[in-house]
Amino acid sequence: MLARNVRERRLLKSWTQYDLAAETRLRQALVSEIEAGKANPTLLSLHRIASALGVQVAELVMPQGTVLVQGTKPAAGARGRPAKKKRGRPLKPLSR
């Protein structure tokens, strides 16, 4: 999934692997290995690639056409009401 999405997004920008490597400051060989499905990039590398391609990291690892939802509502309580925040006692300072 990752390999196909990176390649398709790169080609949509009419970039070569060298162009993507220059934008991300990664080696062209690593870009090639990612697109061939032979490398497991770090999260930092994925973030750099996603930023250069103008997408979110999730869009690179999910099937094309998957809709990402931005923002969520708080979890509802037992009767559809917003869940209450639990409040504990304040911490006491350590005595020495």
Which domains can be identified in the chain, with CATH numbers?
Answer: 2-61 (1.10.260.40)
Based on the number of CB atoms within 10 Å of its own CB, is 34 exposed (0-12), middle (13-18) or buried (19 or more)? Answer: buried
Query: Side-chain half-sphere of 56: how many Cα atoms within 13 Å?
Result: 10
80 pLDDT band (50/70/90 cuts)?
low
Q: What is the pLDDT of residues 32-54, one digit of tens each?
A: 999 999 999 999 999 999 999 99
pTM of the model: 0.68
Tell me the average pLDDT across 67-91: 58
Residue with tokens 């999910």: 62
pLDDT at residue 30 in the model: 97
Read off the DSSP letter of residue 44.
Answer: H
Whether 76 shows a pLDDT value over 90: the answer reads: no
